[in-house]
Amino acid sequence: MHKHIAIITALEYLRERLGHQSFQLLDHWNGDRMAIGIASPNDANWLVYIACTDTLPSAYTAILERGSSPDDEIPYEECGSFEGLDINGLADVVSAHLQH
């Protein structure tokens, strides 16, 4: 996995705070070093897209998604978005969404 250190730090912190089995990696953005996807370990239809930027790597963006209805063209629909999160705020958002 070739991700920015801020993304790796976030994943390590989320595992420590929420537990090692609290999410699964579901990286639809393989070539993007500044972003990663994680999903509920029980239902991959509940996804959080986590991103940061080179200019402010400690401020995270979290886009919350859930599976859309089977007849929709797009497999996920956005159901929330947060910008400028510190690592604790990111953990709070991830925990709440993935426990749906």
DSSP 51: E
The upper half-sphere exposure of residue 1, i.e. CA atoms within 13 Å in the direction of its Cβ, equals: 16
Ranges of H-type helices in 3-86: 5-18
Phi, then psi, of 6 in degrees rounded to 5: -65, -35
| Domain edges within the chain | 5-98
* Predicted confidence band of residue 11 (pLDDT cuts 50, 70, 90): very high
CB contact set of 61 (below 8 Å; sequence gap of 6+):
49, 50, 51, 52, 81, 82, 83, 84, 85
DSSP 12: H
* Predicted confidence band of residue 83 (pLDDT cuts 50, 70, 90): very high
